[in-house]
Structure 1
Amino acid sequence: MTEPFSLLLPVYAKDDPGQLTRAFRSAVDEQVLRPDEVVVVRDGPVPGGLQVVLDDLVATSPVPARVLALPVNVGLAEALTEGLAACAHDVVARMDADDVALPERFVRQLALIGEGYDLVGAGLLEFVDDEAVTIGRRTPPVGEAHIQRYARFHDPFNHPTVVYRRDAVRRAGGYVAVGLMEDYWLFARMLHAGVRAENLAEPLVKYRVGAGAYKRRGGVAQLRAEIRLQRLLRRIRFTTRRQAIRNVAVRGGYRLVPEAIRKAAYRTLIQRGFRSGASR
């Protein structure tokens, strides 16, 4: 029998009502295995139109659903922390407000949770406006040894695809804001703590690549966040000194190149890393 699980979906003021509706319906109504509850974290006030959609989705959801309304915008890391605390079940599935979950997503991932895994990710397909038009595919590393090696260089999980045990997240210290890399820092600590983790190579989520997606990954602020992250990874001895130096040079340099180069480099680096395991 499949263990009950919660769907955790954060929403904030800039989210699009139509995209939110599509995300919610794909992750609830259209799933072969539906979540047992939905917790929507409203990260601060939202425009009236978005609030109307939120209210309608909760009222018409085929499973119990509620909105956790935070009075001010606190950012993704803290919003997810608040949402995790509000979930009724230990198993929690993540979903973003502008992505699309494929119908087999939860039935495939919960099967692995049932086998004893604490953290399960999956591949994803990238699109811009039309979800039927795929512009890229991200296939994560598969197998615990490969995941462990690759994690020394890059986040081995596609964050919008993960299902995890809340208790394992808490034991690792939960979400901590580190630029746009709070998920990488969390997953590194979970792996370092010895959780059982796996990825499904097949794409189970369609990921919306919005305007400015690659621009946000660059700049001096992200370089500082990158250096901070590498120091944190080194502090817990998740990486070796050699790996830390490499990461600052490669990942840090990536933050400063022009956006067009950053976009091309991102795909090259993650695919090369998936093949090699980024073990050096």
Structure 2
Amino acid sequence: MENYPKFSVLMSVYYKDVPSFFDQALSSIWLQQTIRPSQIILVKDGLLTEDLEKVIKKYIEICGPSLNIISLQRNSGLAYALSQGLEHCKYDYIARMDSDDISTPERFDKQLTFLHKNKDIDVVGSYLTEINENGDIIKELVKYPLENGELREFFSKRDPLAHPTAFFRKSFFMKAGSYTNEINLGEDTVLWYRGFINNCHFANVPHVGLLFRRTNSFYKRRSNWKKSISLLKFRLLTINRRLGYNINADIYAITYFLISISPNFIKKLAYQFFR
């Protein structure tokens, strides 16, 4: 596609992030893409380590005025950080990116081209490959359904898009609202629900757009009791009822809850075979 529209990338970083992963994430969206973003919104979610600050300083020099830093005085969580960053996104297209993943070189090209051709779609994700701490592939291909109807049905089981692969029209947030911390560590699930309930249209492109970092800390984050219980209630009482899902959706919600509170070796098996 010629004459690509300008777009923003929305990221957040906090003190527990790994500097080398963060460096690779920024490199993948600025130095390795076939098309570059016009703006990177990087939210510093509280005070950072010296090594993380060094990475930011490096990319301020590389990216120049295209890298916009938003500093929060204290660590407030991903949902709040993204909601603050969203207010600074200038353009009508917004790509999400996490600070430990790697976008593949044609990710933005594929997703922008898709949105240009499909005016009814509000947000598009992609397939992904999972890697570990060392960058080794642990799962070659994770697929998601491609079309809106399939994705709405898929949401009865689990999230329809991998959040770090999402590429939005800004109008998505005008329809669905911004990120909220209504569910602790479940901001993406809430966002997808609000998208569906407000008639947003979803899609995925059949292209690996992201190397998703699945490390030991990934499983620890999913061992949060408060998140697990809140998400179970939200699915049973809100998502499944308001979107008209049947008893199978309730069974999936309970199964996901049991996996989330299980030991890490069970989580690893579940993600390897059922993701």
**Could you tell me the TM-score, scaled by structure 2's length?**
0.90
* Distance across 1 between alignment mates of 2:116 and 2:226: 40
Question: For 1:130-145, what aligned pairs fall within 5 Å after superposition?
Answer: 130-131=134-135, 133-136=136-139, 137-145=141-149
- Mapped to 1, the partners of 2:111 and 2:96 lie a distance apart of 12
CA offsets, 1:34-72, max 9 Å, x none? 101111111111112211221221221167111111111
Return the offset for 1:112. Answer: 1.3
Paired position in structure 1 for 2:203: 198
Aligned length: 268
Q: CA deviation at 1:32?
A: 0.5
In 2, distance between residues paired with 1:50 and 1:256?
31
1:147 corresponds to which of 139, 147, 151: 151
Aligned to 2:239: 233
- Percent identity reads 28
Q: Which runs of 4+ in 1 moved over 6 A?
A: none
Give structure 1 stretches of 5+ with no counterpart: 271-280
- Is it true that 1:61 corresponds to 2:57 in the alignment? no
Question: Is the 8 Å Cα contact of residues 214 and 259 (structure 1) preserved in structure 2?
Answer: yes
Within the candidate set 19, 35, 51, 1:49 is matched to 51
Q: 1:258, 1:17 → 2: CA distance?
A: 28
Q: Distance in 2 between matches of 1:181 and 1:11?
A: 17
| 1:26 to partner: Cα distance | 0.9
Query: 2:155 and 2:227 mapped to 1: Cα distance?
Result: 19
> 261-270 vs 175-184, which deviates more?
261-270
Unaligned runs of 5+ in 2: none
Aligned equivalents of 2:225 and 2:110: distance in 1?
40
**In the alignment, what sits opposite 1:278?**
none
1:7-22 alignment to 2 at 5 Å?
7-22=9-24
- In 1, Cα distance between the equivalents of 2:134 and 2:273? 24
Measured in 2, the distance between the counterparts of 1:40 and 1:31 equals 18
Provide the residue aligned with 1:174 in structure 2: 178
Root mean square deviation, CA, Å = 1.8
The 1-side partners of 2:207 and 2:74 are apart by: 37
Q: CA deviation at 1:241?
A: 5.5
Return the offset for 1:146.
Answer: 1.2
The correspondence for 1:72, drawn from 68, 71, 74, is 74
Task: Report whether the alignment pairs 1:82 with 2:84.
Answer: yes
Q: Does 1:38 align with 2:44?
A: no
Contact 2:41 2:67 in 1 (8 A): yes
- Out of 188-197 and 107-116, give the one that drifted further: 188-197
C-alpha distance in 2, partners of 1:129/1:265? Answer: 19
TM-score (norm 1): 0.89
